[in-house]
Amino acid sequence: MKKLLPKQEGLALSERSESNGFTLLEILLVVAAIAILAGIVILAINPGKQLGDTRNAQRKTDINTILNAVYQYSIDNNGTLPSTITTTVTAVCQATPCTSLIDLSVLTTSEKYVVSIPKDPLITATTGTAGYTIVKSANGRVTVAAPDAEQGATISVTR
C-alpha cells in the first residue's frame, strides 16, 4: 500500500496532484524552439543560391569547353579560327540549321573537338541557341560569355 505524505493524508485520491506529463506551455516552447532552429537552418542553406551557384559553375565549364574546342580547331588549321566567328557579339547556335546565330558545327564534325555544343543549364527546349555568346577581337582573341549568369555574376573567358 502506498504511504501518503503528511500533507496529502486528508486529501482524497482525486484531489491529489501528480505531475506525470508535460504542460501545454512546455510543449509550445519546445515546438517554437524547433521552428526557430529550422528557420535558421533553411536560411543558412539557402537552396536558391546553392542552385544558382551550381548552374554558374556549369556555365564556366561550358564556356571553357567551347573555347578549348575553338582553339584546338585553330591549332589544327594553321591558326585559322572557324569562319563563322565574327567581330560582332553573337549567340552560339546549339542545333542546326542556324540562321542568325554563330554556327560552330565545324567543331562537332566527326566529334573531333567536342561531341556537341554545350547549352546553358536553364535552356530546356530546343530553341536553337546554346545560351552563350562568342566574339572575335580585331587581333584574333576570342571571348565566350554566358549572358544569362545568375546572381549578378559575369562569366566570360578570353583567349
pLDDT of residue 25: 94
Q: Residue 134: inside a domain, yes or no?
A: yes
Structure confidence by residue, pLDDT tens digits, 87-121: 999 999 887 677 788 999 999 988 899 999 999 99
- 121 near 60, Cβ under 8 Å? no
Average pLDDT over residues 59-71: 96
Q: Residue 86: inside a domain, yes or no?
A: yes
Residues constituting the chain: 159
Nearest to 92 by CA among 100, 84, 105, 102: 102
Structure confidence by residue, pLDDT tens digits, 42-57: 888 898 899 999 999 9
Domain interval for residue 141: 47-158
Q: Residue 40: inside a domain, yes or no?
A: no
All three cell numbers of 113, joined, read 573537338
Band of pLDDT at residue 15, cut at 50, 70 and 90: low
Q: Residue 31: inside a domain, yes or no?
A: no
Q: Residue 33: inside a domain, yes or no?
A: no
The total of structural domains in the chain comes to: 1
Q: Residue 104: inside a domain, yes or no?
A: yes
pLDDT of residue 125: 72
